[in-house]
Structure 1
Amino acid sequence: MTTVFRHTEPLPPRSATGTVAEAYAQIRHDFGIADPSTFVVLSSTPELLASAWALMRESLIAGPGGRTGKELVALGVSLANRCPFCVDAHTVLLHATGDHALAERLARGETPADETHARLVEWGRRTREPGAPLEPYPFPREDLPGYLGTALSFHFINRIASALLTENLLPGGAQRFRAVRSVVGRSLTRTVRRTARPGASLMLLDPVDAGESPAWAGGTPVGVAYAALLRAAMRGAALLGADEHEVVEAALQDWDGSHPPLTGDGFPDRREHPGARLALLAALAPYRITEEDVAAWRTREHSDHCLVHLVAYGAFVAVDRIESSLSTRITLEAP
C-alpha cells in the first residue's frame, strides 16, 4: 500500500494517547485538517510534535498579522527551501482564505499582482539567507512575532517534510488540479477564518524559562513555542559523536543560504560519518536524503524515534543559524 511517509512508519493517529492525542485534537480544531502528515511523522517524539505544532499555531494561526500575509510568507519560505509538498499546501490554504485568484496565480509560478503580496513572498524567500536584509518589513512592525515565527516554523517543517515525506500533498498528486485545490481550500474556509486564542497550545509543552524566549517574539506565546522547539530538536544532538558535531557546526557556520550544487557531493562520507551526513542533509538539502543514507546510519538500536530526532536536529541547526543571524539585529519596538 502506498504511503506518504519515507524512512519511518508512524503509528496510526487513532492509536495516539497522552500529549500526541491532545495535539492531534488541537490540530483538527484549529488547523482544520485531521492528522496532517507533517505532524504525524513526528509522533514518535511527542515533545517534537507538540512544540512544532505550537510554533506553527501561535505564529501562523493565532499570532499577530493577517492570515493571507502569513500564508504568503510561508509559501515564500517553502519556495526558497524547494519543498513542493509545502508549496502546494499553502496554495490550498490561500484558497481557504478566499484569495482564489492569488492562489492560482502562485500555483502557475507567477508573481502576485499586488505589490504588498509580492513583497511578502519575497520576504519569506529571503529569510533562508542568514544575515539577509529584511527591513523595511512588508507588514506592520508590531506583527513581527507572527510573521517571523511563521517563517521560522516553516523553515523547520519544510525540512521535515522534504526529508521524511513524499512530494504528494494529496493521493495521486491530486493537488495539481485547480478544481481539487479550490474544493479542498474551500472546505477549510470556516476554520481558517475562525479567530484562534493565542497561547492555547502552550498547555502541551513543558515549562519554558522566560529568558529562553527570543527578544523578537516580544513576550508573545510565539517565543515560548520557539524556545520549546529549540529544546526538543536539539536533543537529537546526542545521537552524534563529538567529531560529527564539529563537522556539522563547521559546515553551518559558513552557510550562506545557498543550495548545495548537484555536481559533486560535498557532504560527509556515509561510511565514515553517516550521522553527520544525515544531519547536514536535513539542514541544507533534505530532499537529497536517500534510503542508502538512512541505512548507513541506522542500526538495531536506532528506532524511528531516533531517526526523527536526528533529522529534526539537522533541520533545527539550519533554523537556528537563520534565527541567530536575525536576532542580533532585530529589536521589537512597542507599537
Structure 2
Amino acid sequence: MSTPFRYTEPLPPKSATGTVAEVYAQIALDFGIAEPVTFVVLSSAPELLAPTWALMRESLIAGAGSRTGKELAALGVSLANKCPFCVDAHTVLLHATGDHGLAERLARGEAPQSEEHARVLAWGRHTRVPGAALEPYPFPREHAPAYLGTALTFHFINRIASALLTENLLPAGAQRFRAVRSLAGRTLARTVRRPARPGTALALLDHIDPGEAPAWADGTPVGLAYAALLRAAMRGAGLLDTDDHHLVEQTLQDWDGSHPPLTLDGFPDRRERPGARLALLAALAPYRITDEDVAAWRRPEHTDHCLVHLVAYGAFVAVDRIESSLSAQIIREAL
C-alpha cells in the first residue's frame, strides 16, 4: 500500500495522545484538514510538531493581513524552494479563499493579473536569498510579523516536505486536475475564511520566553512560536559530531540562496560524512535527498525521531540564515 512518507512510519493519528493529539485537534479546527501529512510526519517528535504548527497558525492563519496575500507569499517561498507538494497545497488554499481565477492562473504557471498580487508573490520568492532587500513591503507594515512569519514557516515546512514526503498532495497526483483542486479548496472554504483568535497555539508550547522572540515579530504570538521552533529544531545538532556540526554551520554562513549544482560539488561524501551530507541537503536541496543518503546515515539506534530531528536541524539552519540576515537588515534600517 502506497504511503506519502518516504523514510518514516508515523503512528496512525487516531492513536495519538498527549501533545500530538492536542495539536491534531487544533489543526482540524483551524486548518480544516484533520491529519495533514506535513504535520503527521513530525509526530514522532512532538517537541518539533507543536512549535511548527504554532508558527504556521499564528502567522498564516491568525496573523494580521489577508489570507490570500499570505497564501501568495507562501506560494512564492515554495516556488523558490522547488517544493511541488507545497506549491500545490497553496494553490488549493487559494481556491479556499475564493480566489479561483488567481489559483488557476498560478496553477498554469502564469503571473497574477493584479500588480499587488504579483508583488507579494515575487516578495515571497525573494525571501530565499539571505540579505535580499525585502522592503518596501508589498503589504502594510503592521502586517509584517504575519507575512515574515509565514515566509519563515514555509522555508521550514518546504524542506520537511521535500525531504520526507512524496510530491503528491493527493493520492495519484489528483491535485493536477482543475476540478479536484477547486473541489478540495471549496471543502476548506468555511474554515479558511473564518477569523482565528491569535495566541491559541501558544498553550501547546512547553517553554515560552518573550525575551527570545525576534524584534521583527513586534510582540505578536508569531515571535514566541518562532523562538520555540528555533530552540526545538537546533537540538538536532546533537546528532552530529563537532566537525560535522561546524561544516554545516559554516556552509550556511556562506550560502547566498542559490540551489546547488547537479554534481553537488562541495557536499560531503555519503560514505565518509553521511550526517553532514544529510543535514546540508535538508538545508539547501532537500528534493535531492536519496534513499542512499538516508541509508548511509541510518543505524539501528537512529529511530524516526532521530531522522526527523536531523532533517529539521538542517532545514532550520537555512531558515536561521534567512532570519538572521533579515533581523540584521531591520536593525540597520532602524539606526
Question: How far did residue 264 of structure 1 move?
Answer: 4.5
1:1-335, aligned counterparts within 5 Å?
1-330=1-330
In 2, Cα distance between the equivalents of 1:226 and 1:315? 14
Residues of 1 paired with 2:265 and 2:25: CA distance? 42
SS of 1:14 mapped into structure 2: helix
* Structure 1 residue 208, shift from structure 2 partner: 1.8
TM-score, normalised with respect to structure 1? 0.98
Q: How many residues align?
A: 334
For 2:225, the aligned partner's letter is A
Q: Deviations over 1:2-26 (max 9, x none)?
A: 0000111111000100000000000
**CA contact under 8 A between 1:215 and 1:332: conserved in structure 2?**
no
- TM-score of the aligned structures, taking structure 2 as reference length: 0.98
Identity of aligned residues (%): 81
- Secondary structure of 1:309's partner? helix
Q: CA deviation at 1:263?
A: 3.0
Contact 1:216 1:332 in 2 (8 A): no
Distance 2:101 2:22 in 1: 36
Task: Tell me the secondary structure at the aligned position of residue 329 of structure 1.
Answer: helix
Q: Structure 2: how far apart are the matches of 1:24 and 1:10?
A: 14
Give a deviation string over 1:127-172, Cα, whole Å, max 9, x none. 0000001111000001000000000000000000000000000000
State the Cα distance separating 1:207 from its structure 2 match: 2.2
| Structure 1 residue 331: Cα displacement | 5.7
Separation in structure 1 between the aligned mates of residue 47 and residue 204 of structure 2, nearest angstrom: 9
What is the Cα-based RMSD across aligned positions, in Å?
A: 1.3
Counterparts of 1:266 and 1:260 in 2: how far apart (Å)? 9
Task: Output the amino acid matched with 1:113.
Answer: Q
Unaligned runs of 5+ in 2: none
For 1:264 and 1:272, how far apart are their aligned partners in 2?
A: 15
Runs (4 or more) in structure 1 with deviation over 6 Å come to none
1:156 partner amino acid: F
1:34 shift after superposition: 1.0
After superposition, the C-alpha distances for 1:181-217 in whole angstroms (9 at most, x for unaligned) are: 0000000000001010000000000122111000000
Per-residue CA deviations over 1:206-242 (Å, capped at 9, x if unaligned) read: 1221110000000000000000000110010000000
What CA distance in whole angstroms lies between the structure 1 residues aligned with 2:160 and 2:80? 15
Q: What is the CA distance between 1:330 and its match in structure 2?
A: 1.7
